[in-house]
Amino acid sequence: MRACRWRFYKRYGRNIVGGEMSQVNSQIWTEKKDDLRLLKMELREVLVTRRIPEPGMAMISRECKIRLWDEDRPIPREKLLEMAKGVSGIVCMLTDRIDAVAMDSAGAGLKVIAIMAVGFDNIDINEATRRGIVVGNTPGVLTDATADLTWALMLSLGRRIVEGDRMMRKRGVTGWSPTLLLGADFAGKTLGIIGMGRIGTAVAKRASGLRMRVIYFDPNQLSP
């Protein structure tokens, strides 16, 4: 596994995070399956710094023992360093600083650091790379959820759903009028999006279903 990682570092100059994850996946899974099996066997115990959704917990527990911070608050720094001792993997959140000190606490057996987030500023990537520790994040995991919520807010505003809910709870329906809770149509309107990354693109795709015109601002021009 170390030789495989070294070639990756030499080529890309950084760890396996963000866009580089997809670029390296095919090479690793097609050419280095035995190395990944070896890494899998080396994961004896994994520190999980917050309880994650059950499918994720089950996936980890099938492969190794879990050392879990089970309180519904970020793990304190001193507790993180204490619980990291001797683990071979760490599943962390954005609130956890995984630097050289944390890696020292885990020891030489630390093989993997995975963060349940898109960003990874809390992890010292250069230090992890120097030590041969694989780092992974979860790019794209919130794309659809965020796009859905964006549209939920826009539809709620345009169709005055919150106002209607409050009216029903306060006094009920007292009659009808042509202007009662009159909202705004979306079809035919123009939607402006700043930033056409994963989320912006997902929002734009949903706009097409409402027959909206989409304009955007982004450093890169997308293909039609």
What are the DSSP calls for 196-215, one per residue? -SHHHHHHHHHHHTTT-EEE
Whether residue 66 has pLDDT greater than 70: yes
Please give the torsion angle defined by the CA atoms of residues 128, 51, 68 and 129, in that order, rounded to the nearest 10 degrees.
Answer: 0
- 64-86 average pLDDT score: 96
What does the DSSP 8-state code read for residue 222?
A: P
The pLDDT assigned to 42 comes to 65
Residue-range domains of the chain with CATH = 2-136 (3.40.50.720), 143-217 (3.40.50.720)
pLDDT of residue 4: 29
Residue 5 has pLDDT above 70, yes or no: no
Residue 94 CB neighbour total at 10 angstroms: 15
pLDDT-based confidence at residue 208 (cuts at 50, 70, 90): very high
CB 136 within 8 A of CB 115: yes
Mean pLDDT of 19-47: 50
Predicted local confidence at residue 176, as pLDDT: 84
Structure tokens at 211: 């027959």
Residue 167, pLDDT above cutoff 80: yes
Q: What is the pLDDT of residue 140?
A: 84
CA distances from 90 to 115, 133, 160, 181 (A): 8, 11, 45, 51
Bridge-partner residues for 216, per DSSP?
Answer: 193
The pLDDT score that the predictor gives to residue 63 is 86
Place of tokens 């609130």: 95
At residue 163, what are phi and psi to the nearest 5 degrees? -60, -45
Is 43's pLDDT higher than 80?
no
Q: What is the percentage of the chain residues whose pLDDT exceeds 70?
A: 81
Per mean pLDDT, which range of 84-88, 126-130, 177-181, 182-186 is the poorest? Answer: 177-181
Pairing relationship of beta strands 213-217 and 190-194 according to DSSP bridges: parallel
Residue 9's pLDDT is 29
Higher pLDDT, 168 or 127: 127
